Structure 1
Amino acid sequence: MKKWWFPAVLFISFILSAIGHYAGFPYTLEFIISAISVIFVAGFLGKATESVAHHAGQRLGGFLNATFGNAAELIIGILLVKEGHFEMVKASITGSIIGNLLLVLGLSVLAGGIKYKIQNYNVSLAGLNGSLMILAIIALFVPAIFLNTKAIEPADTNLLSLIVSGVLIAAYLLWLVFSMITHKDYLADVSDGGPADANHEEAAWSKGRSILYLIIATVMVAFVSEWLVDTLDPMTEKFGLSEIFVGAFVVAIVGNAAEHSAAVILALKNKIGAAVEIAVGSSLQIALFVAPVLVFISHLFASGPMDIVFTVIELAAIGVAVFIAKSITQDGSTNWYEGLLLLAVYVILGVSFYLV
């Protein structure tokens, strides 16, 4: 944040977004301003989490970046659930998962691979991440298959959704215990000890200021996210876009701007382990924690309960993303061409979703 223009643009875009929301700007203009504001606020959030990562280490820093980066996604999801936009919520979850696995990871691997040729990270962590991605696929596929084949009644869907969601939340929390406490050393970062090592860099801010900025940025994300959500309905109708495209690509890309910027920056600093932790860790957090939590939260609103049954299109997109991401990351090393492959799959899915 040494450049003077960033805080200036951040402040101005946030104020304009607030004025646009409360003064009743035209929806198109309000959407554009809010989207720009979310991107800059997310950049601020990413910078704060990167500074915290310097004090906490790559793995914990990557986890914090993914968690706070997903704050926008969770807040947008809660607001959409409250309004009863369940299909858009599921599309947003789908978009967040494939966006992180294909776009964020793809850009990070491509950028880091161009600069460093080959980048390495903990192969054991890569394998476990792959297994968790498979768990997420199983948890999303099973309810959809059982419902669509009439193996269970629609009335039982909500009960199955709650049970599956509970299992996923438990699995994710136990994964945090495993990876951060009991097997922390086993999953430690791979460091070449070169100039890109975190220990050779100065943090942007002190530990206390980093945490303070992290809290401020999260609050700003909450406000801007709500203002952005209010423009989605009229924007969708005006441009004739499907809810699945808006949720899977527009909301997901804007909501994950923090991960986009931070992961690429870390990859360029030869911290591919942290970049992978942000991209893959964020996808896992969405699939194993955020989505199940939204299922439980939906029971608190008058709009009715949301199930965890995704459409065939969404399941196919998630399955494809997990398949290629697991294939590329399982050996614990990356290069620029693998990043290109991930981006190619993202473009194919993006065009397909747009034509729906």
Structure 2
Amino acid sequence: MKKYGFYSVMVAIFALSAISHYGGWNVMWQFALSALAILFVAGFLGKATESVAHYAGQRLGGFLNATFGNAAELIIAIFLVKEGLFDMVKASLTGAIIGNLLLVLGLSVLLGGLKYKQQHFNIQIAGYNATLMIMAVIGLFVPAVFVKAEHFSVEKDHLLSLSIAAILIVSYLLWLIFSMITHRSLLSDGEAAADHGETPPWSRGVSVLFLVLATIMVALVSEWLVGTLHTFTSRFGLSELFVGAFVIAIIGNAAEHSAAVMMAMKNKIGAAVEIAIGSSLQIALFVAPVLILVSTLFGQTMDILFTPIELTAIAVAVFIAKSISKDGTTNWYEGVLLLMVYIILGIAFYLV
């Protein structure tokens, strides 16, 4: 009965958000209802991906969760790119990366660790994830240094951005081939695909159908939310950096938040790590480069130059996440450390 209550509330909030948007309600009401709606829809998305993960196993399930969870972030960002709000796009990407590495992983490790003294995941996956995270930092750091130091022209800036975007996308696609096909057995989480000891809420076909439906609902609500952001930031005197890095990122990553924490509390820390770290890698190596290419299709190329503040935040998040995940084991105190770093960055971004 409870689950039907959740879906009833979700549909009601979604309908109210649609009415407020198309009915021309007060913008603050539109923002509040859209933000609330995307949280409920993201929860639905997380539940659908968890059901799919039951049939696919922890690694593939975690990848699917990260991918569909990032659908909200990607869709929101595409609408921001279309509006030319490039600074907010980069801030939201920064927020998504540090949010997954610090908030999502931190909550998962903390709550999972409170229930289980020590949790384990594949140490080889941890090593590859660490290397990929460092590459992501390099891919974002190099253009910022060279363009500023050498005073590149706009044409050279765009050429460098498009070139690095293409390289990062190819690197990510090759990683998927390596981890999911050629070396799948090496990186296996060691459990049968469907042997989770649980009964999924839906069949395989219904799970996939709900996954697609939830993604479409996220796309609609994302468009409504983006249309209210300018008024919201002006009303409360917030910087685009803070709104993009924390408000949009937290809302857009709601699916990962719920799913990763649920997995960790069921002692499936491998799936939780795959969702959190895998999602950050997907943002840095795939979503950000794709947005560079999409912006070109809209007629105005967005460069890949992140600010020193954004690069610092990403580098800090990668450093501590790498340090904590490198041994393939986690405990609740490591989760606390990740959350403390997230709070430190949050206060610093708020004061910008």
The CA deviation at 1:152 is: 3.4
The CA deviation at 1:163 is: 0.5
Contact 1:105–1:279 (Cα < 8 Å) also in 2: yes
Letter in 2 for 1:282: S
Aligned counterpart in structure 1 of residue 288 of structure 2, from 258, 279, 291: 291
Partner secondary structure for residue 158 of structure 1: helix
Distance 1:190 1:2, change over 3 A: farther
Identity of aligned residues (%): 66
Contact 1:105–1:275 (Cα < 8 Å) also in 2: yes
CA distance in 2, matches of 1:145, 1:198: 48
The CA deviation at 1:151 is: 5.8
Give RMSD over aligned pairs: 1.2
Partner secondary structure for residue 46 of structure 1: helix
1:342: which partner in 2? 338
Partner secondary structure for residue 200 of structure 1: coil
Partner secondary structure for residue 87 of structure 2: helix
Letter in 2 for 1:323: F
CA distance in 2, matches of 1:341, 1:198: 32
CA distance in 2, matches of 1:259, 1:152: 38
1:308: which partner in 2? 304
Partner secondary structure for residue 149 of structure 1: helix
1:242: which partner in 2? 239
2:100: which partner in 1? 100
Q: Is the aligned partner of 1:75 residue 2:71?
A: no
- Give the TM-score normalised by the residue count of structure 1: 0.97
Contact 1:266–1:272 (Cα < 8 Å) also in 2: yes
Deviates more, 1:20-29 or 1:108-117: 20-29
Deviations 1:253-300 (A, max 9, x none): 000000000000000000000000000000000000000000000011
CA distance in 2, matches of 1:161, 1:142: 10
Gaps of 5+ in 2: none
Equivalent runs, 1:1-356 vs 2, <5 Å: 3-150=3-150, 152-190=152-190, 198-302=195-299, 304-356=300-352
CA distance in 2, matches of 1:190, 1:129: 18
Letter in 2 for 1:137: V
Letter in 2 for 1:73: E
The CA deviation at 1:4 is: 2.4
CA distance in 2, matches of 1:151, 1:128: 35
Gaps of 5+ in 1: none
The CA deviation at 1:343 is: 0.2
The CA deviation at 1:24 is: 1.2
CA distance in 1, matches of 2:195, 2:62: 13
Deviations 1:197-233 (A, max 9, x none): 9431111110011011111101000000100100101
The CA deviation at 1:27 is: 1.3
Letter in 2 for 1:320: V
Contact 1:147–1:154 (Cα < 8 Å) also in 2: no
CA distance in 1, matches of 2:289, 2:313: 19
The CA deviation at 1:5 is: 1.3
CA distance in 2, matches of 1:3, 1:133: 37
- Give the TM-score normalised by the residue count of structure 2: 0.98
Distance 1:28 1:198, change over 3 A: farther
CA distance in 1, matches of 2:259, 2:2: 16
Partner secondary structure for residue 84 of structure 1: coil
CA distance in 2, matches of 1:237, 1:198: 51
CA distance in 1, matches of 2:195, 2:45: 19
The CA deviation at 1:154 is: 3.8
Query: How many residue pairs were aligned?
Result: 351
